[in-house]
Amino acid sequence: MAQARTLGDLKKGGVPAARESVKDEMRRNLLVKLRAKETLFPGILGYDESVVPRMVNAVLSRHNMILLGLRGQAKSRLLRSLTTLLDPAAPMVAGCEIHDDPLRPLCKRCRDLVGERGDDTEVAWITPDDRYVEKLATPDVTIADIIGDVDPIRAARGGHDLASELTMHYGLLPRAHRGIFALNELPDLAGRIQVGLFNILQEGDVQIKGYPIRLPLDVCMVFTANPEDYTARGKIITPLKDRIGSEVRTHYPATVEQGVAITQQEAWTERGKGVRIPRFIREVAEGVAFAARRDKKIDKRSGVSQRLPISALENALSNAERRALLRGETLVVPRIADIYAALPSLTGKFELEYEGELMGAENVGRELIREAAGETFSVYMGSVDLKPVVAFFESGGSLKLRDDAAAEEMVAQLKRVPGLLDHVAFLGVQPGDPVPLLAAAGEFVLEGLYAQKKIGRSDDRGYVAPERRSDADVDLERLERLRRMKKQVN
């Protein structure tokens, strides 16, 4: 059916006399999606059994909601995906600042216009994106930004009295009328501004300063925030929390597989046909984030964003791309060395505790990569017999691999170690595969053995025999650890 262009056309189209609210509209469209078993929030991974059901319940209950979670948990993306629950197009009075319903206009301009033109009032149509208004809460946000205020310039230009409704400048909240209003980082909003949201959450209206009128806005309000134990900059005042219908907790990926899927979706890795990223490299990059989230040297309250593995993988691929160009190689394959080269994309993604500050961010980052490599190695090659490889180094052998070495050169060196490339099939790499893949697999095996302390590594000689400590050294280390534990208890 063609879209109506005037109020008269709209009425002829059989518009119901009792228009549903935006929350009823979202509920109706959500029920349709649920019955059709459609994907509710495209691009959102890992939340199907936790966050999504709770958001569905909130929408079905016609609740305003808040998403609570640490940084990098797709809170903003979830809120923006709520627009998929709005109708493809909605009518409004043409030129209205607050998207007024032609059948029930709120603002004085639209009321006067409909009264003057009647069925000839021009109608425009708005998309779901037009009906979504988002604001990042900052300490300098004023009540005028959110609700609105008197506009002396408008009064002067139009020759209106300052008491006239026509002099009102609408804030972001009225401009979200008949749509969704999202406020990110709610605790950063000053307490007195949070108070200004009471009416819209409870009574469904706002009062703009200086005018003895109320606007019964039709808005679905959604918020995001970090948990209060982390957000020391401010907090959500209790009466406001009480007025928010549903509180939904977000989380980081529960498994490495989920994390890899998210990173694969978000990271910029499609750089042409000549790029291959081995699965074990993706898992190491993801494992760094998992290791960081449980490391005691990293602040748990701050969290470790999902942006960390995304940035790490992109940076590692860029380092491999640079090396391939310098060496004249046509196939770009990132190696473990490239993940170490991506340290600049890691160190800014976590906040350190006191012990971590003493070590330094780069050293902590290296430890995390080593730990991730060791865990991934255990998954793929934990049962593989690599005793000949270990024996080579224990007998005095060493292998120094340059980070910028060409794949052919690296494979030639790796073949010096007996049995090193015999089991790369466990990594999904076959002996007949391109040389850069063999180089990446061989280096990963060495790094995995090093992470498990079966071989050692030094700056000057590369991979070498593991460092052997005497029983006396082990006892001293154990006594020192006990002394530190006792000191902490006291």
Give mean pLDDT, residues 35-42.
94
Q: How many CA atoms lie within 13 A of 347 on its CB side?
A: 15
DSSP β-bridge partners for residue 126: 90
- Please give the pLDDT value at position 25: 95
Percent of the chain residues topping a pLDDT of 70: 89
Q: 19 or 155: which carries more pLDDT confidence?
A: 19
Q: How confident is the model at residue 144 (pLDDT cuts 50, 70, 90)?
A: confident
H/E element, 358? helix 354-359
Determine the Cα angle at 44 with ends 42 and 50, to 5°: 120
pLDDT in tens, 278-327: 999 999 999 999 999 999 999 988 889 999 999 999 999 999 999 999 99
- Please give the pLDDT value at position 155: 62
Q: How confident is the model at residue 470 (pLDDT cuts 50, 70, 90)?
A: very low
Q: Is the pLDDT of residue 468 over 80?
A: no
Closest CA to 376 of 294, 279, 442, 464: 279
Largest CA distance in the chain: 97
Radius of gyration, alpha carbons of the chain: 30
Q: What ranges do the domains of the chain cover? A: 7-249, 256-464
Q: 386 or 231: which carries more pLDDT confidence?
A: 386
What is the residue-wise DSSP string for 46-78? S-TTTHHHHHHHHHHTT--EEEE--TTSSHHHH
Q: Which two tokens stand for residue 9?
A: 């056309």
Query: CA–CA separation, 280 vs 451, rounded Å?
Result: 15
Strand bridging mode 246-249 / 65-68: parallel
Give mean pLDDT, residues 131-154.
84
Q: Which amino acid is at 94?
A: A
Helices (H), ranges, 237-306: 238-243, 256-266, 279-294
CATH superfamily of 7-249: P-loop containing nucleotide triphosphate hydrolases (3.40.50.300)
Query: CA–CA separation, 25 vs 385, rounded Å?
Result: 61
By the 8 A CB rule, do 223 and 66 touch?
yes
Which range is most confident: 5-9, 10-14, 176-180?
176-180
By the 8 A CB rule, do 342 and 316 touch?
yes
- Please give the pLDDT value at position 429: 93
- Please give the pLDDT value at position 482: 56
- Please give the pLDDT value at position 152: 67
pLDDT in tens, 212-257: 677 888 999 999 998 864 445 568 888 888 999 999 999 999 999 9
Helix pair 51-60, 22-36: axis angle to 10 deg: 130
Q: How confident is the model at residue 130 (pLDDT cuts 50, 70, 90)?
A: very high
Strand bridging mode 132-136 / 148-150: unpaired
DSSP β-bridge partners for residue 456: 464
What is the residue-wise DSSP string for 121-164? -BEEEE-TGGGEEEEE--TT--HHHHTEEE-HHHHHHHT--TTS
Query: CA–CA separation, 255 vs 11, rounded Å?
Result: 53
Classify burial at 255, counting beta carbons within 10 Å of its beta carbon; exposed 0-12, middle 13-18, buried 19 or more: exposed
- Please give the pLDDT value at position 487: 60
Q: Helix, strand, or coil here: 399?
A: strand
Query: Position of tokens 């760094």?
Result: 288
Closest CA to 413 of 405, 404, 422, 424: 405
By the 8 A CB rule, do 70 and 226 touch?
yes
DSSP β-bridge partners for residue 67: 224, 248
Query: CA–CA separation, 172 vs 41, rounded Å?
Result: 25
Q: 149 or 449: which carries more pLDDT confidence?
A: 449
Q: Which amino acid is at 395?
A: S
Give mean pLDDT, residues 54-63.
97
Give mean pLDDT, residues 66-78.
93
- Please give the pLDDT value at position 367: 95
Percent of the chain residues topping a pLDDT of 90: 62
Query: CA–CA separation, 19 vs 46, rounded Å?
Result: 36
- The overall average pLDDT reported for the chain is 88
Q: How far apart are the first and last CA of the chain?
A: 78
What is the residue-wise DSSP string for 193-235? HHHTTHHHHHTS-B--TT-S--B---EEEEEEE--TTT-TT--
H/E element, 182? strand 179-184
Query: CA–CA separation, 424 vs 280, rounded Å?
Result: 11
Which stretch of 168-172, 353-357, 374-378, 440-444 has the lowest confidence by average pLDDT?
168-172
